[in-house]
Amino acid sequence: MADISVTLAGVPLTSCVYNASGPRTGSSAAMSKIAKSASGGVLAKSATIASQKGNDLPRTWHEDNGKASLNSEGLPNSGIDYYIDPKTISETMGESPTKPYMVSISGKNIADNLQMLQKISSTIESGSVNIAAVELNLACPNIVGKPTIGYDFEQMEDVMKQVASLPCFSGSKPLFPLGVKMPPYFDRPHFEMAATILNKYKH
């Protein structure tokens, strides 16, 4: 069997494929199924400061044969405290405690994102949980009234600048790896503009 393991930002993954933060990652019960699979890691649902129900129903569509689906959920989630709670992580990882568990955040504003990153930092520093990495979601397009930050390059630059200034990233070695979830781009100049911003703040 081919070896598809990889080390990403210092995090070893037994497979280069793992789940996206999406509809089936909102609870420990759902994430435990991913932990038991061949997925290289487990990425939790993008969290907000407080729990929220998301968009009104109906917000999902499934093809009759089960081969396709569409969703516009609006980030229903249990709030950041749930996804960094030792009980949640233990229930999720179960018999796969060495598989990387990763947290995703998508605040309603930059202040929310900074607050959540500080919460995560404090939790990791306490030694009570093993959070391998964090995803900063700048790509979620399905929240009414909230623009996709990944398409607003000026705003994206400001977000990355403020995030990079946090104590958990300001030392010689970050407290944890931070990835950025980006929206799809279709024009080469947009790829270049996004890459310029991200490369400016890579550690």
168 is catalytic: no
Work out the angle between the directed axes of helices 28-35 and 86-93 (0-180°, nearest 10).
40
Are 27 and 78 in contact by the 8 Å Cβ rule? The answer is: yes
- Reduced to 3 states, what is the DSSP secondary structure of residue 176? coil
Q: Which of 86, 99, 91 is nearest to 37 (CA)?
A: 99
**Which of 124, 140, 149, 182 is an active site residue?**
140
Task: Give rounded-to-5 percent helix, strand, coil for the chain.
Answer: 35, 15, 50
10 backbone dihedrals φ, ψ, rounded to 5°: 85, 0
Here the tokens at position 67 are 């081969």
Q: How many CB atoms lie within 10 A of CB 171?
A: 9
Catalytic residues: 140
